Structure 1
Amino acid sequence: MTPPAAAPEFLKGAGWDDAEILPLAGDASFRRYFRVLAPGRRAVLMDAPPPHEDPRPFLTVAEHLIALGFSAPRTLAADLRHGLVLLEDFGDARMREVIDAAPEAELRIYADAVDLLARLHRHPAADLPPYDEREYLREASLLTEWYAPALGLQVEDESYRAAWREALAPLLQDRSVTVLRDYHAENIMLIEGRDGVDGLGLLDFQDALAGHPAYDLVSLLQDARRDVPEAIEADMLQRYLETARPGGGFLDAYWLLGAQRNAKIVGIFTRLWKRDGKPRYLSYLPRVWAYLERDLEQPALAPVKAWFDAHIPAHQRGGARLA
């Protein structure tokens, strides 16, 4: 977490030449984050190094969210050539850690997060690429591309994709909302001095697409990085249905996109271990597989469940055999 070489000159040009640069976080991509401290003020420095990363989609979606009245980080300065962006700092109160420290607040915070989605989904999708069949299948196929080979399984990818095509067909035409794509407890900040939906700061939305409203809800309630009790998932799902009043077929779409997302995550986390040398992601796989198994039990997933039952034996699910 050494600051990028261009950071001091960038900060000087932005009027932060007296600032200290401290490591803040890295993530599953090439992006890194630093806290920038100066007398009486602070900010976050995003390092999105080209050619691996491009911060422009993040900036575009942030502007869209801010225009709609949501709390996305405001841009203080940017150097796109070096992939450096200076952002508003939402502090350290991340949803996950706040709930861990105060479990009694869990239901209230999840309710606020669900209400935020319901409010966002009242607006048409931003001008973004579509979450289409090609993208759904590309993501789901990360499981057969990475997880199956890691266990020595020889699986036939085309039949896997065919099962997903059949299952996903009913929801493919719904691209009505902005899908943030990584809406969960590690990407939501609780901003001091703000309450309810207004107090939730949004992060990590640079991959946003125009897609189905169920996707971010299942991302929140089937969180790969923390256990969400099934009772809270059920309550929050009902809360969304009553608040947003989505169209028919929403529950089927919820379980379908839960399965699709969890299959994708199984593949991504396996890749992070196998290719990128990040074994800590293996610890999340049992949780993700548990969500996936539950999703597969829903009638809407029948073609996909049949494929899993035929090609991935029960004892090779769960991820424990990779550790």
Structure 2
Amino acid sequence: MTQDLRKKQLNKWAHAQLAARSMVISGAGPLVPASDDASFRRYYRLPDGLHPLIFVDAPPDKEDSRSFVSIAENLNDAGLNAPVVFAADYDLGFMMLSDLGTDLYLPAIEAADEAGADGSRPLYRDAIDALCIMQSIKAEVPDYNIILLRQEMDLFPHWFLGRELGHDCTGAEVKMLDAVFALMIKNALEQPQVFVHRDYHSRNLMVTSDNNPGIIDFQDAVQGAVTYDLVSLLRDCYFKLPPDEVRHWVVYFRARLIEQHRIDPVDEETFMRWFDLMGLQRHLKCAGIFSRLHLRDGKEGYLGDIPLVIGYMKEVCTRYEDLASFGGWLSEVVGPRLKSRLFE
């Protein structure tokens, strides 16, 4: 089914939902786009701009709306600020949600960064405090297991190295990557396992006047490593937080978890290694995903996000002896090829 036809169907469904609730809108025009993301979902608002509602087109052969509805309920029950699902048709793949507004975290932290001082700290504190609550949720979600962790990292050699850079790995490089991947998996599985949003970053958090932040795009949640969402937030693929601020918030988060008896006491350096290596696993995945979005889905903007991701990876490798050779390879082999690709 074409996107235009689905939009017409969603428009009809949306107005039927409103009529069933005796909601009157000024004008009967079609829904207007609200936002887009890296998935197959599309988001729309009413044309009058008065009703705080979002209508979602999530093609059932591509997206799991049941997971979204279930996890939205989990988040709201925990007192977090997630969209409320007012209606859902799983066969059609349509949903009607409460609208958390248009103020993403990303422009807010960018503006705070330009203003200097510690303007972004209240935003990060709110996000991390919400994360502490979110990790206590008991939900029926898949485990972030060996298979899933490895599948994600395999996107790096396939989509980023092979498809984006045109680099065929040698036998020695394959062996090196296998060793790095094994280290990442060990690190992820040795950590306390908690509810993981899986994309907890500045494009999936909304600045809200009450119960900040608003949390969206959580349907792919899993049960995984305690540092995963923290590194998604603090080593964001779309915004670079200064290293001293990253460390400040890692220390803050660890202390909160220990105070709340969410984790057993663990020394700061062990926790920091958990965080660093979890970030490396995530950024291996992200380099592959961004390449796939660029090449397969025609989303050019994601190519420009890859240098920051590779930069994070190299930064982590400088801290740990068991990653030194991988870091050197990133600088000597991957770096020049990426630079050439960006400036073709």
Asked if these proteins are the same fold (TM beyond 0.5), I'd say yes
Between the aligned partners of 1:116 and 1:26, the Cα distance in structure 2 is 24
Task: Indicate which of 134, 139, 156 corresponds to 1:120.
Answer: 134
Q: Does 1:208 align with 2:221?
A: yes
SS at match of 1:257: helix
Counterpart AA for 2:271:
F
Q: Residues 280 and 167 of structure 1: is their aligned pair in 2 closer, same or farther, counting only changes over 3 Å? A: closer
Overall identity of the aligned pairs, in % = 30
Q: Residues 273 and 295 of structure 1: is their aligned pair in 2 closer, same or farther, counting only changes over 3 Å? A: same
Q: In the TM superposition, what is the alpha-carbon distance from 1:275 to its structure 2 partner?
A: 1.7
Match of 1:7 in 2: 10
Whether contact under 8 Å (2:205, 2:215) holds in the other structure is: yes
Q: In the TM superposition, what is the alpha-carbon distance from 1:213 to its structure 2 partner?
A: 1.2
Task: Indicate which of 165, 171, 189 corresponds to 1:172.
Answer: 189
Matches within 5 A, 1:80-159: 80-103=90-113, 105-121=119-135, 123-149=136-162, 150-155=164-169, 156=171, 157=174, 159=176
Match of 1:229 in 2: 242
Q: In the TM superposition, what is the alpha-carbon distance from 1:39 to its structure 2 partner?
A: 7.5
Residues 105-140 of structure 1 deviation map (CA, whole Å, 9 limit, x = unaligned): 31211111112112223x154221100111111111
Q: In the TM superposition, what is the alpha-carbon distance from 1:27 to its structure 2 partner?
A: 1.1
Match of 2:253 in 1: 240
Whether contact under 8 Å (1:124, 1:178) holds in the other structure is: yes
> Whose Rg is larger?
2
TM-score, structure 2 normalization:
0.84
Counterpart AA for 1:287:
L
Equivalent residues, number? 315
Match of 2:68 in 1: 58
Q: Residues 294 and 37 of structure 1: is their aligned pair in 2 closer, same or farther, counting only changes over 3 Å? A: same
Q: In the TM superposition, what is the alpha-carbon distance from 1:49 to its structure 2 partner?
A: 1.1
* Structure 2: segments with no counterpart, 5+ residues: none
Match of 1:314 in 2: 332
Between the aligned partners of 2:157 and 2:85, the Cα distance in structure 1 is 39
* Structure 1: segments with no counterpart, 5+ residues: none
Match of 2:300 in 1: 279
Q: Residues 106 and 46 of structure 1: is their aligned pair in 2 closer, same or farther, counting only changes over 3 Å? A: same
What is the aligned-residue RMSD (CA, Å)? 2.3
SS at match of 1:316: helix
Whether contact under 8 Å (1:176, 1:211) holds in the other structure is: yes
Whether contact under 8 Å (1:137, 1:161) holds in the other structure is: no
Between the aligned partners of 2:142 and 2:252, the Cα distance in structure 1 is 29
Counterpart AA for 1:165:
A
Match of 1:34 in 2: 44
Q: In the TM superposition, what is the alpha-carbon distance from 1:167 to its structure 2 partner?
A: 4.3
Whether contact under 8 Å (1:141, 1:264) holds in the other structure is: yes
Counterpart AA for 2:41:
R
Q: In the TM superposition, what is the alpha-carbon distance from 1:29 to its structure 2 partner?
A: 1.3
Match of 1:160 in 2: 177
